[in-house]
A and B are shown apart, each in its own frame.
Chain A
Amino acid sequence: MAGTVTSTSGRSGAREVRVWDPLVRLIHWGVALTVLINAFSEDESTFHAWVGYTAMGLVAIRLLWGLVGPPPARFSAFPPNPVAAVAHVRSILTGQRPIHLSHNPLGALMVYNLWLTLIALGVTGYMMGTMRFFGIDWVEEMHEAAFAWLIASVALHVAGIVFDTWLTKVPLAKAMVTGRKTIRETARTE
């Protein structure tokens, strides 16, 4: 008789799960903003450098939060695991729609990729401003290569969000704004 009760209980058949805490969200959009600003700001200006430092600061706070923050924000919730990522791709190819409360294994790889790329950008950017490395070609080339890689990664990241939202019907972009993932009652999560 349980069916009788649930059918009239008036619930939408979906549950909301708190995933991203406000600090994670602020840092995410903060980093996005600094990338956007620095993509268009004057290359060798002090402004460009300070926006870069801010981005480094944001990444540093996020990394600390990955150690001490709440469970979904911690590295342990999304360890960098290429084997799991391959398994994830395989399960999608076989028609499954795995839902993960934190990042999915493929998304997790993207997260680490973005952090490493941002750090590479920050480090080479800083080096370009020091007396020792000023005007040295390979530093500048690395900075530009890292930027190209970052833009490609961001494009892939956005494409991944669109694809996963289509696949699992969990609006991911919304979750990064409100902090909550809306998951259908019948769906299983991992």
Chain B
Amino acid sequence: MTLQRVFFGKSERRAALLAVIILAQALCAMFFVGDVIADYLEAGRILEIHLLVETMAAAALVAGVVILMRELRQIISRMRDIETGLRAARGDMVTVIEAFFDSWNLSAAERDVALLLLKGFDNESIATLRGTAKGTVRAQASSIYAKAGVDGRAQLISIFLEELLADDGDIPKPAVS
């Protein structure tokens, strides 16, 4: 959720500010348009300089509202796109992780532990979460590292990080020791 907050905090504030401005400006625009119409009905002609300026001001306000509305819609649709992309990326990440776990032939318990390791839990927390002894978790972790061919948690994580950073398209196979 933190990633989302970084992406959206700014956009959301901007969207809210825009909405407030649109509302205020639109209400002002309607006031002026109404005023201009009333003045026309009273004066009956356009060539009065005061009325002309007032008409232009009203038109400018209306144009401003329309432009701001377009801007707001763009911000909203951009947020939507990023959100969809994030969700897809998350789904892809899960697929990638599962593919690695499969290729290492992890047991069901090891998969759970491996995922918790990736999420940054220490052995003690994992033991508490899974209701097992600390020694069990340590043994499972060693087994995972052995199967993955890495020498610790940092390297295990780097396998997946590399997957995210790689841009040449080829999938780095974990080294088997």
Binding site for B on A (CB under 8 A): 1-2, 4-10, 18, 21-23, 25-27, 30, 54, 57-58, 60-61, 64-65, 68-70
A5 touching B98, Cβ below 8 Å: yes
| Interface positions of B from 1 to 36, Cβ below 8 Å from A | 15-16, 18-20, 22-23, 26-27, 30-31
- Residue of B at shortest CB range from A54? B27
Say if the beta carbon of B108 comes within 8 Å of chain A. Answer: yes
Say if the beta carbon of B156 comes within 8 Å of chain A. Answer: no
Q: Which residues of B contact A30 (CB under 8 A)?
A: 23
B22 touching A61, Cβ below 8 Å: yes
Q: Is the interface of B mostly helix, strand, loop or mixed?
A: helix
B30 touching A26, Cβ below 8 Å: no
A97 to B98, CA, bound (A): 34
Binding site for A on B (CB under 8 A): 15-16, 18-20, 22-23, 26-27, 30-31, 69-70, 72-73, 76-77, 79-80, 83, 94, 97-98, 101-102, 108, 111-112, 115-116, 119
B15 touching A22, Cβ below 8 Å: yes
Q: Which residues of A contact B101 (CB under 8 A)?
A: 1
Q: Which residues of B contact A21 (CB under 8 A)?
A: 15, 19, 72, 76
